[in-house]
Structure 1
Amino acid sequence: MDDVDNLFHPSLEAALIKLDPEDGKQIMEYFRTQALLMKEKALLQASVRDQKKLLVENGKLKKDIEQLRSQLQENQRRRSAKALLSQAPPPPRTGPAPTAPANQPAATNPPPPSSRDRREPQIRRRRGERKAPPTSDSLSLGAEPRVDVSRLDLRVGRILSARRHPVADGLSVQEVDVGETAPRTVVSKLGGKTPLEELPGGRAVLLCNVRACKMRGVVSQARLLWCSAPDGCTELLTPPTGSAPGDRVTFLNYPGEPDRELQAGDRVWDLLQPHLQVDSRGVANYKGCGFEVKGKGLCRSPSLTDALIR
């Protein structure tokens, strides 16, 4: 307000008040307000001019950058062309071509393939002939898949029901909850210390990434793991107390992720099964590494020791 007040001389205000005692002061306030507005407008216009100046400078900088980029690309193309010219073969000789010795027969071009030769590969493809298997060199380029217990999807399950197979006396059918929306049907061969009537309500360990297969008319969707002693006694492998259906069984020394589905051609189960054992304390292990449900304990055989897990 001090700057604005300096714009108006006191005599001007006195003269206005003298001419119009009632509205003289309001007229002076109006003049001051207009002066402030004009000052703000001037500042705003100056700011806009500075902004436009910056935009112009930015445009010039962008243009300079584009020119430098074009020059760099042109220099790169020239260097590439020079490198290609330096690697080009020497020009052909302009002198007469060397003649072959008299006692050496002149080389002849091989005859073009006949239409029959061209048709043979197509005929073989139509007949469904297989391509030659890849050589060992091509196979060696890819990394060999790991074969360890981490490829098995082992989970805790709770047996809901158990019954005899309708057409096979040596088999039984269980419905098992493995933490999914619906229970899985499992066909297995159990006996010895595990009567069928004692199975419902019990917990077990299941291999869940086997391919579903039909066993004497009933589709089996998993595999129950059971312990087999040398004397022929068998019993289910049991998870630790407190474990729930769907809990993963893992191995501390083998932290990999399981396969989505074990392929029959890989024979993963056949290769791993001899190393799945119950030790002298009844603890299940793979090469000395225990079957573990994290935070809950180890899987065990209820009473057998030094047994195989099948």
Structure 2
Amino acid sequence: MATNGAALKRLEQKELKQELIQAEIQNGVKQIPFPSGTLLQTNSTVSENVIQSRPITTITSGAKEQIGGGAEEKKMKEKIEVKGEKKEKKQQSVAGSADSKPLDVSRLDLRVGCIITARKHPDADSLYVEEVDVGETAPRTVVSGLVNHVPLEQMQNRMVILLCNLKPAKMRGVISQAMVMCASSPEKVEILAPPNGSVPGDRIVFDAFPGEPDKELNPKKKIWEQIQPDLFTNDECVATYKGAPFQVKGKGVCRAQTMTNSGIK
């Protein structure tokens, strides 16, 4: 009786196990057959069953787009970084080129100009606002503190020398695009005059200091501030830099009217 009872119990367990297996299969649970009471053998059949039983991760279209988008974003980021590095190197190269130039008067873009019109600054009693022809397509607007030194009528149609590569600066609301060069002392100021025969746009050159001027003087480098102390008129009122005269090739030198041994600015 005991034997029959045990056999019946094993049969019920087997049936329950089969029902459980069927339920798992219906619910998508893969079954891995392991022979009861035997050791697992490392053979191709068992390996194949184990491999087949492992879940395979599929990539949905949304995931593919995310992966693709991530790769595209990474590629774009790398492209931007490379572009930024190239731009930085170019800026460093330009800066290095400017720094390699000698610190002398050749860095200044000095040109002959003709004042077309001059008027009082609307918001500053000591300033003139001039429109000056420097040989370009349009005249430059220049603000000068000459009201107390030069009568307005003497400013009209006057030939002058301009420093053209200072960074444009706002002076009491008006952008000044150049500076009129003058012999200057605490008591007196005189506008420098180019030689006879000069025309707007003529370059002022220095035989002892050849070279091309900067496109624009970097205010942080204080180039003008370092060159200016060596600008003087000599005993004959000729404008000079370290003794070398301001000159227009083939036309002559630049002068003040009466001021000798005076600073220029």
Shorter-chain TM-score: which interval? 0.5 to 0.7
* Structure 1 segment 160-171 matched on structure 2, within 5 A: 160-171=116-127
| Matched residue, 1:210 | 166
* Aligned residue among 143, 156, 170 for 1:200: 156
Spell out, residue by residue over 1:136-174, the C-alpha distance to the aligned partner (whole angstroms, 9 max, x if none).
xxxxx9975421000000000001111111101111111
Do the aligned residues in 2 keep the contact of 1:191 with 1:234 (CA within 8 Å)? no
Q: Percent identity?
A: 52
- TM superposition shift of 1:229: 3.0
**2:161 is the alignment partner of 1:243:** no
What stretches of structure 1 move > 3 A for 4+ residues in a row? 141-145
| Matched residue, 1:276 | 231
Alignment-mate amino acid for residue 197 of structure 1: E
Mark the CA change 1:214 to 1:251 in structure 2 (over 3 Å): closer, same or farther: same
- TM superposition shift of 1:292: 0.6
- TM superposition shift of 1:193: 4.7
- TM superposition shift of 1:305: 1.1
- TM superposition shift of 1:191: 4.1
Mark the CA change 1:257 to 1:144 in structure 2 (over 3 Å): closer, same or farther: closer
**2:129 is the alignment partner of 1:173:** yes
| Matched residue, 2:250 | 295
- TM superposition shift of 1:251: 0.3
Do the aligned residues in 2 keep the contact of 1:157 with 1:244 (CA within 8 Å)? yes
Spell out, residue by residue over 1:9-58, the C-alpha distance to the aligned partner (whole angstroms, 9 max, x if none).
xxxxxxxxxxxxxxxxxxxxxxxxxxxxxxxxxxxxxxxxxxxxxxxxxx
* Aligned residue among 142, 153, 159 for 2:109: 153
CA distance in 1, matches of 2:139, 2:150: 21
| Matched residue, 2:261 | 306
CA distance in 2, matches of 1:277, 1:162: 26
| Matched residue, 2:50 | none
TM-score w.r.t. length of structure 1: 0.53
- SS state at 1:265 partner: helix
CA distance in 2, matches of 1:278, 1:170: 25
Mark the CA change 1:159 to 1:249 in structure 2 (over 3 Å): closer, same or farther: same
Do the aligned residues in 2 keep the contact of 1:229 with 1:305 (CA within 8 Å)? no
| Matched residue, 1:189 | 145
Do the aligned residues in 1 keep the contact of 2:104 with 2:227 (CA within 8 Å)? yes
Spell out, residue by residue over 1:234-258, the C-alpha distance to the aligned partner (whole angstroms, 9 max, x if none).
1101100110000000000011100
Q: Which runs of 5+ in 1 are unaligned?
A: 1-140
